[in-house]
Amino acid sequence: MSDILKTIYSAVVSGDRDTVQAKVQEALEANLDPLTILNEGMVAAMGEVGDRFERQEFFVPEMLIAARAMQTGMAILKPHLMQSDIQSSGRVLAGTVLGDVHDIGKNLVCTMLEGAGFEIHDLGVNVAPETFVKAVQELEPDIVAMSALLTTTMPNMRATIEALESAGLRAQVRIMVGGAPVTESFAQQIGADGYAPDASQAVRLAKSLVEG
């Protein structure tokens, strides 16, 4: 890993927003690939933060300041992850499920989908099944994209799919799910149409869902 990526990685882990801001800018000016900066410098750093949390070397405040540093870097990268002049690929309704406030991965997926030409309606975090239902009625999206980062909130993906079924809306949308604890087999068990392990594959999946 180059020195600049190492510095970004350490600055995200320690929650040093100023350094993240300066170094992400510098990396872009040095023509580093925005996706490399994102994945090797920042996403990997959040993995390290999670490992430290598990080892009880980090606690919630440290996770929070690392998350803020990551978001600072993402704001700078966002325009570089987007392509201009692309036609709408479809409409996506996104949200992190009920009980869950993790939004960095979901925001990243939304940014990449937007960059690929999808129209994004982001319901934010802690989104109840009935809120998804109401938004599907109002916005008529092609895809509902749900994120969950906690094993305890994964069942709310199933609850949301069941709520869409009860409202008679299931057949009119494709449903994709993701988030660190989510797996392909879980996606199948709950009746989702697809699972993606990361944001790049989420774009591929979304395209195949609208095409299929």
Q: Which of 62, 162 has the CB closer to ligand B1M?
A: 62
Q: Are 40 and 3 in contact (CB under 8 A)?
A: no
Cα(140)–Cα(34) distance, integer angstroms? 32
Exactly one of 34, 41, 141, 178 binds ligand B1M (CB under 6 A); that residue is: 178
Exactly one of 22, 53, 80, 120 binds ligand B1M (CB under 6 A); that residue is: 53
Q: Are 150 and 75 in contact (CB under 8 A)?
A: no
The 10 Å Cβ neighbour count of residue 95 is 25
Length of the chain: 212
Exactly one of 157, 199, 203, 209 binds ligand B1M (CB under 6 A); that residue is: 199
Exactly one of 176, 187, 203, 209 binds ligand B1M (CB under 6 A); that residue is: 176
x/- track of binding to ligand B1M for residues 65-104 (CB under 6 A): --x-------------------------------xxxxxx
**Per rule CB under 6 A, is residue 109 in the interface with ligand B1M?**
yes
**Per rule CB under 6 A, is residue 115 in the interface with ligand B1M?**
no
Q: Which of 7, 147 has the CB closer to ligand B1M?
A: 147
Distance of CA 110 to the CA centre of its chain: 6
**Per rule CB under 6 A, is residue 113 in the interface with ligand B1M?**
no
**Per rule CB under 6 A, is residue 54 in the interface with ligand B1M?**
yes
Report CA-CA distances (Å) from 36 to 22, 24, 94, 98, 187.
17, 11, 25, 32, 28
Rg (CA), the chain: 17
Strand 174-178 vs strand 194-195: parallel, antiparallel, or unpaired?
parallel
**Per rule CB under 6 A, is residue 35 in the interface with ligand B1M?**
no
Q: Are 52 and 65 in contact (CB under 8 A)?
A: no
Exactly one of 8, 97, 145, 173 binds ligand B1M (CB under 6 A); that residue is: 145
Q: At what angle do helices 44-54 and 60-81 cross, to 10 degrees?
A: 170
**Per rule CB under 6 A, is residue 32 in the interface with ligand B1M?**
no
Residues forming contacts to ligand B1M in the complex (CB under 6 A) are 43, 46-47, 49-50, 53-54, 60, 63-64, 67, 99-106, 108-109, 145-147, 149-152, 176-181, 196, 198-199, 202
